[in-house]
Amino acid sequence: MDYHNLCYGCFANKENQGPCTFCGYASDSSLEAGLYLTPGTLLSGKYLVGRLLGQGGFGITYLGWDTNLEIRIAIKEFFPQGLVSRVPGENSVISYTGEIKEQFSFGVESFLRESKTLARFEHHPSIVTVRDYFEANNTAYMVMSFIEGITLLEYLNRSGGKIPVEQAIQIVLPVTDALKEVHAAGILHRDISPDNIFIDKEGRVILIDFGAARQEMREKSKSLSVVLKAGYAPEEQYRTKGKQGPWTDIYAVGATLYRCITGDKPPEAIDRLAEDDLVPPSQLGIAIEPDREAALLSALAVKDSDRCQTVEEFQAELLGDKTKAVTEDKAKQRYCGYCGEKLDLKTQLCISCRFNAQQASISSGKPEIAPVEEHIEMRETVLNEAECNEEIGSEPVRSNKPVKVLSFIALLGLVVLGWHFIIDSLYEETMDSPYEEAFEDLQENALGNTVINMAGNTVGNTVNGGLVAKQGDWIYYSNLQDNGYLYKKSSDGNNKTRLNSDDSWFLNVAGDWIYYSNRSDGGKIYRISLDGGSRMKINNDESWSVKVVDGWIYYLNYNSGKRLYKIKTDGSEQKRINDHESWSLNVVGEWLYYRNGRDNSLDKIRNDGSGHTQINSDEPWAINVAGDWIYYSNNNDNRRIYRARTDGSFREPINNDRSVYLNVSEGWIYYRNIDDGGSIYKIKLDGSGRSKVNASNSRFLNVIDEWVYFQNDDAGGQLYKTLADGSVTRRIN
């Protein structure tokens, strides 16, 4: 592989010497000469240095590329400010002489020792994975897995500053589980805060950026300044001879929990020594049970002797039997109501997309996990000491145009934030025997529309987010590399045109109009003409799963408890169809098929609100309906694809893969195979003929004509298409 053609912003193969066509990265001339490694530098003979991810007081973190495994990584360079420098154009670090040099040498040893210890926890799901560590350039390096997701701090900011108590507790539980492991190994984190807690695109909570080396250096030298997170550090960390132990991390966890539920950091611990003005959450109007508030305030006790001395004690006080039952029930996995990805069992968060997650009660008699009201906009984020230095007042250093993963998503898409994503799926037409009858009228009337108006309306697209559609010679798509703005592009790849400045989802191309949910305006439904003109707001509701059928727009109304609604395409005659929470809407003729949020069953109801019927008790996602058959991913059976008769008379599984982003087209079901790294697979409608279409890590599939459109997470979240037989793959944008 020619590494000279790699983009140092995302490590995709560049097609030219200009800005990367995948992420837009060219170079970052703002980087201070002599401070950072030059992108393209090779470390330890196999790690290629990319763009700067971030910098803290003791280290610099870069995006990296493992040339052996050909995967992205994060590389952390030990670079304590004030102790070392670097000559412009050189890689080697220069340490000052005398006592400072001794301090730096001791720091290198501590950094390597910390790396070696953390590498022992590579299989722990809530501890950042250290893949390698080594000395080079007169300093030390730590190689970590690159995490796609966002920090807890960013998640809080995107959730209005705070989240419900139950949700916050379920987020900190994985952190405490991780601490039990590291404390048993004799390690303290010493730097827990919302910007050092990461939520990846699979919904896992991961603890990053341990501060053992920093603390050891400070203990050895009184001349080093204190670098602490105001509000999160207990008073003993302010003192050189302060007695530290598990109770030190427990204080920081308590402070993080306080920040999550109140929106504010606790006052600095050093100030509370003189006058403790910490306000209990209940006095701030936060709904919290007395025993949980007592556990939180105990963790935030100024004196270390007044806190729990072990994490196990803190968990026992915080949880109690009722909440503990939630975290231990491994049998009842839940999944996101829109992107279909698994929710983390403890946090119940989905960050694979930006949609609201299904937060159902795990079982009767046990507390429900509070809903995530905003999914995380995914972006590729950093593994550094101060990814968002809210507490110490400095701004993180970023590249001029970070790669966005979808993501978030999903996920939120995460995510990622950035983060970002694109794509979905369409379905149509005729089948081989014995399924011809099921599809004989699909070409003309799959969703009550003629074929010219089907683009964007088919369930494979709108159930999966509705991010790409096609009509005639034009492809319409939400460009998540450009804030979700709506674009169109001719089928030959030319004539790219931006149509609006709205974050556009659930695209429906019907006749001369494009209908969409405008995330820039609270999810209200808008329409514009095919050339981007005559922009009009249709309703004032936060609307999801938008589908246009026969002059009506059907959608989930989030301002009315996710009830099913319909409204005329001109904005008149708004009507409510049902009276309970609904998900995964699919409209076929006069019937609406959906997941009933009350009991997670597969239901149907007529478009006038009559004939409500439970089809079966499965928990379906990505409902595709063709003729008398319903195809869906069954959350109650490890995401296997099922088919069921629309009258409920018959149901059966037709594959053994964990499957999401289902699309039915021309006798085949296309899906993302979670068990094979997100590769695209297809099977026939009876489950036979299983084959792999594409090996890319794909999301948001959409089958249009003979092409499968998808977001390629292996290429920075860009939009790709592959022929249905897998023979040709091309990048779209």
- CA–CA gap between residue 631 and residue 544 (Å, rounded): 21
**CATH code at position 64:** 3.30.200.20
Q: Which of 292, 310, 332 is the last residue of a domain?
A: 332
142 and 153 share a domain? no
606 and 633 share a domain? yes
User: Among 631, 626, 612, which residue's Cα sits nearest to residue 682?
Assistant: 631
pLDDT tens, position by position, 301-332: 999 999 999 999 999 999 874 444 334 443 34
Classify residue 478: in a domain, yes or no.
yes
pLDDT tens, position by position, 451-472: 222 334 455 566 667 788 877 7
- In terms of residue numbers, what domain contains 285? 149-196+205-332
Does the pLDDT at position 120 exceed 90?
no
**CATH code at position 296:** 1.10.510.10
Under 8 Å CB-to-CB from 727, ≥6 apart: which residues? Answer: none
61 and 172 share a domain? no
Classify residue 338: in a domain, yes or no.
no
Classify residue 368: in a domain, yes or no.
no
Classify residue 639: in a domain, yes or no.
yes
The answer to which of 2-6, 482-486, 591-595, 645-649 has the lowest mean pLDDT is: 2-6
Q: Which of 332, 362, 392 is the last residue of a domain?
A: 332
291 and 324 share a domain? yes
Q: Which of 332, 357, 372 is the last residue of a domain?
A: 332
pLDDT at 110: 85
User: Is residue 29 a contact partner of residue 50, using CB atoms and an 8 Å limit?
Assistant: no
Pairing state between β 629-634 and 620-626? antiparallel
**CATH code at position 531:** 2.120.10.30
119 and 233 share a domain? no
Q: According to the 3-state scheme, what is the secondary structure of 475-488? A: EEEEEHHHCCEEEE
pLDDT tens, position by position, 38-78: 899 999 999 999 998 888 777 899 999 999 988 899 999 99
pLDDT at 208: 84
C-alpha dihedral, 72 to 660 to 508 to 487, nearest 10°:
10
552 and 651 share a domain? yes
Q: Residue 715 carries which DSSP code? A: G
Classify residue 494: in a domain, yes or no.
yes
Classify residue 365: in a domain, yes or no.
no
User: Is residue 32 a contact partner of residue 26, using CB atoms and an 8 Å limit?
Assistant: no
Classify residue 383: in a domain, yes or no.
no
533 and 570 share a domain? yes
132 and 191 share a domain? no
Measured from the Cβ of residue 515, the count of other Cβ atoms closer than 10 Å reads 26
Does the pLDDT at position 335 exceed 80?
no
243 and 102 share a domain? no
Classify residue 431: in a domain, yes or no.
no
Mean pLDDT of 391-415: 32
User: Among 237, 224, 160, 131, which residue's Cα sits nearest to residue 193?
Assistant: 237
User: Is residue 12 a contact partner of residue 23, using CB atoms and an 8 Å limit?
Assistant: yes
Under 8 Å CB-to-CB from 130, ≥6 apart: which residues? Answer: 115, 118, 119, 122, 142, 143, 144
100 and 154 share a domain? no
Measure CA 264 to chain center: 24
- Listing DSSP states for 263-305 in one string gives SSPPPPHHHHTT---PPPGGGGT----HHHHHHHHHHT-SSGG
The answer to which of 20-24, 41-45, 219-223, 702-706 has the lowest mean pLDDT is: 219-223
The answer to which of 12-26, 113-127, 210-224, 641-655 has the lowest mean pLDDT is: 210-224
pLDDT at 113: 86
552 and 594 share a domain? yes
Both tokens assigned to 505: 């989802």
How many structural domains are present in the chain? Answer: 3
443 and 545 share a domain? yes
